[in-house]
Structure 1
Amino acid sequence: MTAPLMTYVTAADGTRLAVHRLGAGKPIVLLHGLFSSAEVNWIKFGTAQKLADAGFDVIMPDLRAHGMSDAPHDSYGAGVLVSDLEDVLAHFGLRQFDLAGFSLGARTALNAVLAGVTPERLALVGMGWEGLVDWDKRIAFFIDAIDRYDDIRMGDPAFFAKSFMKTQKVDRVAMRALLLSMTGTDLSNLDAVRMPTRVINGDKDHDNGSAQTLVQKLPNATFAEIPGTHMSCVSEPALGDELVRFFAG
């Protein structure tokens, strides 16, 4: 396995974003999930390597307040993750590229397309319709987990979120600021998502609702199921295989 190279991209507000890069060929940008990182979602279990071996230049930012990126404690503007993605695309001069995201990364990728970002192909992993329409409830759950962090014990619905934050050494002040900056996805213009889109979901993943309903709402989407729960599906070899099948097909 080849080790990715890492560089820093400076966002519009001065935040340094760590970007991991592997392979050569057509660029594909991968966005990880909440509390996670490029290493955990894309590199550790070989997904990035499979895409690199298939002839892609795999570009994997750590979202702000995640991984090796800066985690400023200031208030964040609405849409900051989309703005950060646009800064990464501009830094590398990407005009023809593909885009994929897992969970929060999938939501960010979709928001970016609705804001005018134009990948040639789009993959949304671990995202369903309810994860978009009920986004405020998801945000409230994670903010509550941050606020009650020291009091959460095993058996609490937020225990897994607390454990993952601890494992990932999440800066909870920065993460809370990021979560508070997030607004719901504008679902009134889904017809703008015209590029071929693959919605990929674990067979035991119900965290973000119905992936198949999301497929029905998008104008040019297909569905693929892989093994796993919401958290385990990114560790499955089937995810890398499916992404290669879709993007190289």
Structure 2
Amino acid sequence: MAALPQFVSDGLRLAYESAGEGLPVLCIHGFASSGKVNWIDTGWVETLTGAGYRAITLDNRGHGNSDKPYDPERYYPHDMANDAVALLDHLGIERAAILGYSMGARISAFLAFEHEERVACAIFGGMGMNLINGLSDGNDIISGLRAPSLAELIHPTARQFRIFADHTGADREALAACMETSRQPMARADVRRISVPVLVAVGEADEMAGSPEPLAELLPQGEAFVIPKRDHMRATGDKAFKTAALQFLGKTFA
């Protein structure tokens, strides 16, 4: 396979891909995933390009084909939001729609708050009120990533992410460092200052994200969408989620 194109942000070489023409949608993946796993393999890139958009996928630092520092201080959402801006600069894009899932939605929130002029609208997938409340079992996930084997793990979320990390061939030590700081909550007052249109989409059976409706109510231009019959992992590529996202983009990004 050909190497992915790269750019430099904060001294790190980060990988990305771009497909299609038209208005740009920057897709920011979740924890332990990658641009390919989160957006290409789930059909999102095909969906977006088929609707006339340019789909840009980014491998976050610590993930995929990007550099993987082991220092937890390199993984705050603020820093990864700056990576997204650096990619837009690299591609000569002034404004884009942002599509983030889980950790990628948290990064998208910091991006929309700190760089409002670069964001036309945003979709927070797999992230509800835990954007503010934080992730309660992050330490269990870290322990699971560093455990000698899966057989030792009892905590269900830790097992889930360990299996996912092993399946994607991820660098588990880099992921453990990422988990320490990437789950930084966003202040409620800052959420209220995100002025761009935001769709908050969370699976009906998602126990990790927190409720979408109260987060949407805090956002000046927020709206909530419940992805029917889906948990955190299975909501990512859901057809109803894609339909709702395209409808949202159609009315907020032109």
TM-score, with structure 2 as normaliser: 0.88
* 1:194 to 1:10, Cα distance in 2 relative to 1, 3 A: same
Alignment of 1:186-205 (within 5 A): 186-205=187-206
> After the TM superposition, which segments of 4 or more aligned residues of structure 1 sit over 6 Å from their partners?
none
Q: 2:86 maps to which residue?
A: 87
Q: CA deviation at 1:75?
A: 4.8
SS at match of 1:120: strand
User: How far apart are residue 171 of structure 1 and its match?
Assistant: 0.9
CA distance in 1, matches of 2:30, 2:89: 22
Structure 2 partner of 1:139 = 138
User: Which residue in 2 is equivalent to 1:127?
Assistant: 127
Partner of residue 244, structure 1: 246
Distance (whole Å) between structure 1 residues aligned to residue 154 and residue 178 of structure 2: 27
CA distance in 2, matches of 1:205, 1:121: 24
Distance 1:215 1:76 in 2: 30
Q: Which residue does 2:181 correspond to in 1?
A: 181
> What SS does the corresponding residue of 1:122 show, helix, strand or coil?
strand
Partner residue of 1:11? 9
Work out the CA distance in 2 between the residues paired with 1:126 and 1:72. 25
Higher mean alpha-carbon deviation, 228-237 vs 154-163, is at 154-163
TM-score (norm 1): 0.90
Q: Residues 191-230 of structure 1 correspond to what in structure 2 (within 5 A)? A: 191-227=192-228, 228-230=230-232
Greater shift, 96-105 or 199-208, is seen at: 199-208
Cα distance, 1:138 vs. partner?
4.2
Maintained 8 Å contact 2:202/2:211: no
- What percentage of residue pairs aligned between the two structures are identical? 26
Structure 2 gap ranges (5+) = none
**Aligned ranges 1:1-40 → 2 under 5 Å:** 6-13=4-11, 15-40=12-37
Letter in 1 for 2:159: F
Shift in alpha-carbon separation, 1:95–1:34, aligned structure 2, 3 A: same
Change (3 A) 1:198 1:75: closer
What's the CA shift for 1:237? 2.0
Specify the SS of the correspondent of 2:32. coil
Q: CA deviation at 1:63?
A: 0.7
How far 1:200 moved relative to its partner? 0.9
* Alpha-carbon contact 2:19-2:55 (below 8 Å) kept: yes
Aligned residue pair count:
245
- Could you tell me how far apart the structure 2 residues matched to 1:156 and 1:137 are? 13
